[in-house]
Amino acid sequence: MDSQSWAKHLRIGKTLAAKLSATELVSQLMHCSKGIQRLGIKPYVWWNEALHGVARAGIATVFPQAICMAASFNENMLFHVAEAISTEARAKFNESQQKSDYGIYKGLTMWSPNINIFRDPRWGRGQETYGEDPYLTSILGVAFIRGLQGEDDTYIKTAACAKHFAVHSGPEGKRHSFNAVVSNKDLFETYLPAFQKAVQEAHVCGVMGAYNRVNGEACCASDTLIQKILRKSWGFDGYFVSDCGALPDIVYHHALTLNPVKGAAMALNAGCDLECGKFYNMLYWAYARRYIKRATLLQSAARLLAIRSSLGMFDPECPFNRISPAQNACSEHEALSVQAAEQGIVLLENNGILPLKGNAQKILIIGYNAENELAYLGNYFGTPKRFCKVYEAVRQENACTDYVQGYSYDLRENEAFQRQALERAEKADLLLFCSGLDCSLEGEEAGELLKGGGGTLGDQGDRLTLELPQVQQELLEKLLAKGKALILLNFSGGCIDFRSYKSRAAAILQCWYPGAMGGKAIANILFGKRSPSGKLPVTFYNSIADLPDFEDYSMQNRTYRYFSGEVQYPFGYGLTYTNFQLMEYKLCENELRVTVKNTGGMDCDEILQLYMTCPETQYPNPIRSLIQIARFSFIPGEEKEIVFPLQARDFYSINENGDTIYLSGRYALYLTDGQSIFCQVGDYQNTNESLIIAKCPIDGFDK
């Protein structure tokens, strides 16, 4: 939607809001907004989810979980997935409107994507993110937002909402009371860049505040975050919404005031336009007691009504009204889901066993996760029209394939399951062990059902260690002792400790949570119909013991940018079934030209990653930073020239004050494909004096 159209919708929002009484204005500021019949405003529930498909609203395509799509390093893929999700959301909305169904999860305001930084592998919700890197998160977030919001000049297809603002990535068990203490450097270098891009490049409609405090201020009532940074510095003119149930935390957990009426007023006055919850019922009393002004109510209501206008809710001729229910969960979207999973699955180890030949051996699939629906779905999911899991998909390629559950978290039956698996393994030529977790074990305030039962789970869906659940470890050791060829197919939202298996397993595939059709994608990779091409969007550390305390939000010794120790697999790592060779490279003033050749025997996508290191400074800078990526398809023997345009902003960094600075000195450039290419491709020299490009918009948080 162009700026002229958005200005028109803002005027409509202001005009409608001006006609509302104070009571009616308050009624528009909660996620269950009341209808105003005399003005043609229908009831509307703002809460809807679209993390990797329309969630919680019946049948929908369940795409791979966000972390799996991030591993594709493919912003174009993210755009098309989001475009498909927005079509399905419109199909559901149009059908619901015809039935006068104004219930939850039926609307067009999608509270996605999650663009928080996955700074610590213990965080159960890391699966919802695009990984640990600010640049990768930024470009994928922008692509997803653009796909959701569409490219129409006049109307928005669905309204995206970037979350959770800000500095939010665990611990889950303390999120309602936790105070994240962060420096200006880490705030503007790591935690905020993706949000700034979402606002200034993708023109995201909404931003959701986090539950926690940042440097003492509740995120949903923070003048620093909402007013100084989001609105004044970045120019955000969309709507700000609280996370669900976050506003009562201001009073009952953060204790910033003991008066609920003042707590609600505090949030509204700070710029929180919409509440997910009912705490804003307090605004009726806040207005009566003059804690808030009518002008403040008008401003927030006008923004919300402008969003609804931009979605065409007041125009029966909106072109998106013609999207039919038949476009929901269609075959094209199912195929796109398989393709997204194929591009996101990461091959970590391969002794040459992969790809497999079909119908060449007896295969035994072992592990609960092979048939466990939650291991495919990840959290925030809809109801798929159908599943294609590993057993079904592998059997289509290899007729002599069997399955056994192998283990159980119920220790009373675990021994019998293990015995059966070991007996059946004797008759097999190849074992596929489906390991890992699922979204009932790690996720958003999850894991209570089996808390501690697997030996890896912490409070509320976070993890205590990186190890596999104990029952899986026990069975895996017994199977490996048999000397059979064994391939690990791991399902998880983040890194797992594979150190004791990587030299003994024939291959390891990190499958993430690959979506309802994920089994098809896994089989296509196992049998060589597709070469794996995914790259890790997170570091696979050796152990939690190598990391700082989970509650420490400093970036020191975190992520590939600041971690200096040994790791299992680095950020950006991923094997393929072919080989790529860097034939030549040339660094010019404003571009880097590289020529790459597929020297192997399979079609495959190549992902080139360009990193830079800063000149030395008195304060710590990242060891290296990703500044560009390029994904291209190659046939065997094909050679391509790839151009990376270079701009000064690619080399900007953040100093201790939070200023954006262009440092004087020599920048080094490195190119890798995460497999066989790792090369310094030149130096970039800034001969001018260091220059502050943008002053930090805050001096610090008010204490």
Residues with catalytic function: 243, 442
The residue with tokens 């009393």 is 285
Looking at this protein, which amino acid is placed at residue 567?
V
**Number of residues that this document lists for the chain:** 703
Query: CA separation (Å) from 152 to 5, 109, 115, 319, 405?
Result: 10, 17, 24, 9, 49
Element (H, E) at 629: strand 625-634
The residue with tokens 């400790």 is 497
Q: For residue 494, is it left (φ>0), alpha (ψ between -120 and 50) or beta? A: beta
Give dist(CA 232, CA 236) in Å, integer.
8
Looking at this protein, which amino acid is placed at residue 175?
R
Give dist(CA 269, CA 250) in Å, integer.
13
Q: Return contacts of 619-625, CB within 8 angstroms, 24+ apart.
A: 619/185, 619/655, 619/656, 620/556, 620/562, 621/653, 622/189, 622/561, 622/562, 623/560, 623/561, 623/562, 623/563, 623/564, 624/560, 624/561, 624/670, 625/135, 625/561
What three-state secondary structure class fits 639? strand
Q: For 325, how many CA atoms within 13 A lie in the half-sphere containing its CB?
A: 10
User: Which tokens belong to 505?
Assistant: 């397993």
Cβ(571)–Cβ(538) below 8 Å: yes
Cβ(173)–Cβ(462) below 8 Å: yes
Per 3-state DSSP, what percentage of the chain is helix, strand, and coil (rounded to 5)? Answer: 35, 20, 45
Ranges assigned E (strand) in 248-352:
346-350
Phi, psi of 631 (to 5 degrees): -120, 125
User: Taking the alpha carbons of 375, 390, 52, 134 in that order, is the dihedral positive or negative?
Assistant: positive
State yes or no: cis peptide before 113, omega within 30 of 0.
Answer: yes
What three-state secondary structure class fits 567? strand
Ranges assigned E (strand) in 216-355:
217-218, 239-242, 346-350
Instruction: Specify the DSSP class assigned to residue 537.
Output: S
Give dist(CA 159, CA 240) in Å, integer.
12
